[in-house]
Amino acid sequence: MEKFVIEGGHQLKGKVSISGFKNAAVAIIPAAIVAGDKCTIENLPNIKDVEVLGEILQELGADVAFDSQLKTMHIDSSKIQECYAPYEMAKKLRASYYLLGAALGRFKKARVAYPGGCDIGTRPIDQHIKGFEALGAKVNIDHGIVHVEADELVGAEIYLDVVSVGATINIMLAACRAKGTTIIDNAAKEPHVVDVANFLNSMGADIRGAGTDVIKIHGVDEMRGCTYSVIPDQIEAGTFMIIAAATGGDVVVDNVIPKHLDPITAKLREMGLEIEENGESIRIMGNGRPKKCNIKTLVYPGFPTDLQQPMSALLTQAIGTSIVTETIYEGRFKHVDELKRMGAKIKVEGRVAVIEGIERLSGAAVSATDLRAGAALIVAGLMAEGFTEIENIHYIDRGYENIEQKLVSLGAKISRSIEI
C-alpha cells in the first residue's frame, strides 16, 4: 500500500502547470461513443479515472490508445455493438453513468450497473432517468443494472428539479441524437458542462446555451469523429491556490481559465491573500495565517463542493472561527475526523462545520477517505508542524496528476512510500 509522507512548514514558491479537467474528461471519454467514429482527445489528465474509462471503452469493443506522455487518447468506437457495463466495470467510478446517455443516443439502448465513485453522500440518478424518459426511453432497474431503451428518441422539454451536472450532461448525450429539439431547463452551468457541449458540437451535434440554465439541443442524424482538447482543471487549480495560501508561499498557478476560479479567488482575497490574475495564470501570495472566512458550497458559479474539503483544511489555521456549509453532498465531512487527529478544532452538525482556527496543526498518521478528503490532508500536512503520513492515497491518484512531483517542484517535502 502506498502512502504520502509530508514534512510540513515549508513555504512553496514557483510555478505549477495545471492538467486537463478530470470532471470534464470523465464525461468526454464516454461521450466519444455517441458518434461511433474516431476521436482524438487531447490534454487529458494522466490519472486513474482516465485510465479506467479507457479500459472500460476497450472492454465494450472500442480501440483505445492512451499516450500518457502526450496526454492524448485515441478512441475508435465504431466497433462497439452494444453497451453492457456490469457492476465490476461500472463500480470503478461515478462517471460510468455517462455510458447510459451516450449509448442511448447512439444505440437507443444501454445497460449499465448503478454507478460507483467516492463515498461522499447519496448520489441519486433520478433526474437522469427523468430526462431519458422524457426523451421516450423506458427505464428500469433490475438486479442493480439500469436498463434504458427507446424505439425512438424524441426531443422534449425537461425541467430539472435539482441543478445536476451529471443529469445535464447525460441528457445532452442522449438528446443530441434525438429527433427534434430538446430543452433542458434549470440546467447546470459548470465549466465541464460547457466543455462536453463543445466536444459534442465538434462531433457535429447542435447544442446551444451550455453555460446558461437553458440548453437547447437540436438532434442530428449524423455525427463524426473529431480532435478536441480538454479545458484546464478548475479543481486542481483551486487546490494549488489553497496550498499556496496554506504555506504562506508565492505560487503561480499556470494554464488555468481565471474566470472558472472566481469563487476561489474571491474567498482567498476575503482571507487576506494577495492574488494577481495574468492571462492564463494566477499568482497567489501568502503572508502568515489567513483570516477566517465562511464558505457555502453551491452550484457554479458558487463555491465548488469539490474544494470544500481542501478549503476546510486551510481554515483550521485561520485567525478566527469559520463556518462551512455543504449544500451538495451530505457526506462530505469525512476528512474532519482525520484533521482532528492533527489538532484541528472542528464541530460538525449536519451539513455545517464550525472551524475554530488554531495557531498550528501537528503532523500525524491519517487516512484519505475519498479524493478531496485526500487533498485536504495534503493541505493540512504541508501546514503542520512535523511529519504527516497519509494512507489510502489511491483516492488522490483518481483525480490529481503527479501531485507529489508538482509539489516537490514548488519546494514541498513530500514523498510517496510503499509499505509492504
Ligand X SMILES: CC(=O)N[C@H]1[C@@H](OP(=O)(O)OP(=O)(O)OC[C@H]2O[C@@H](n3ccc(=O)[nH]c3=O)[C@H](O)[C@@H]2O)O[C@H](CO)[C@@H](O)[C@@H]1O
Ligand Y SMILES: C=C(OP(=O)(O)O)C(=O)O
**CB of 95 or CB of 99, closer to ligand Y:** 95
Q: Which stretch binds ligand Y (CB under 6 A): 112-120, 205-213, 261-269, 343-351?
A: 112-120
Residues 73-102 that bind ligand Y (CB under 6 A): 93-95
Q: H/E element holding 245?
A: helix 234-246
**CB of 5 or CB of 257, closer to ligand Y:** 257
Based on the shown chain and the rule CB under 6 A, indicate whether residue 167 belongs to the binding site for ligand X.
yes
**CB of 309 or CB of 388, closer to ligand Y:** 309
**CB of 127 or CB of 317, closer to ligand X:** 127
Based on the shown chain and the rule CB under 6 A, indicate whether residue 165 belongs to the binding site for ligand X.
yes
**Site for ligand X (CB under 6 A): which residue of 14, 124, 144, 180?**
124
| Residue from 286, 335, 382, 267 nearest 120 by CA | 335
**Site for ligand X (CB under 6 A): which residue of 19, 43, 96, 127?**
127
Based on the shown chain and the rule CB under 6 A, indicate whether residue 125 belongs to the binding site for ligand X.
yes
CA–CA separation, 24 and 195 (whole Å): 7
Based on the shown chain and the rule CB under 6 A, indicate whether residue 399 belongs to the binding site for ligand Y.
yes
DSSP-based three-state secondary structure for 140: strand
| Residue from 266, 252, 351, 255 nearest 301 by CA | 266
Beta strands in 80-137 (DSSP E): 84-85, 109-113
Residues 196-235 that bind ligand X (CB under 6 A): none
Q: In angstroms, how far is the first alpha carbon of the chain from the final one?
A: 6
Based on the shown chain and the rule CB under 6 A, indicate whether residue 50 belongs to the binding site for ligand X.
no
| Ramachandran quadrant class, 57 (left: phi over 0; alpha: psi -120 to 50; beta: rest) | alpha
Contact 355, 385 (CB under 8 A): no
Residue number with the smallest Cβ distance to ligand Y:
117
CA–CA separation, 383 and 124 (whole Å): 36
Based on the shown chain and the rule CB under 6 A, indicate whether residue 28 belongs to the binding site for ligand Y.
no
| Ramachandran quadrant class, 392 (left: phi over 0; alpha: psi -120 to 50; beta: rest) | left
Instruction: Please indicate whether residue 39 is annotated as part of the active site.
Output: no
**Site for ligand Y (CB under 6 A): which residue of 8, 45, 54, 117?**
117
Based on the shown chain and the rule CB under 6 A, indicate whether residue 332 belongs to the binding site for ligand X.
no
CA–CA separation, 193 and 395 (whole Å): 24
Which of ligand X, ligand Y, none binds 113 (CB below 5-8 Å, type-dependent)? none
**CB of 226 or CB of 235, closer to ligand Y:** 235
For cell 453532498, name the residue.
Answer: 329
Choosing from 118, 176, 226, 293, which is the catalytic residue?
118
CA–CA separation, 154 and 67 (whole Å): 38
Which of ligand X, ligand Y, none binds 162 (CB below 5-8 Å, type-dependent)? ligand X
Based on the shown chain and the rule CB under 6 A, indicate whether residue 339 belongs to the binding site for ligand X.
no
Based on the shown chain and the rule CB under 6 A, indicate whether residue 244 belongs to the binding site for ligand Y.
no
Query: Crossing angle for the helix pair 191-202 and 165-175, nearest 10 degrees?
Result: 10
Q: Tell me the catalytic residues.
A: 118
In the complex, the residues that contact ligand X under the rule CB under 6 A are 23, 94, 122-128, 162-167, 188, 190, 299, 304-306, 328-329
Residues making up the binding site for UDP-N-acetyl-alpha-D-glucosamine? 94, 123-127, 306, 328
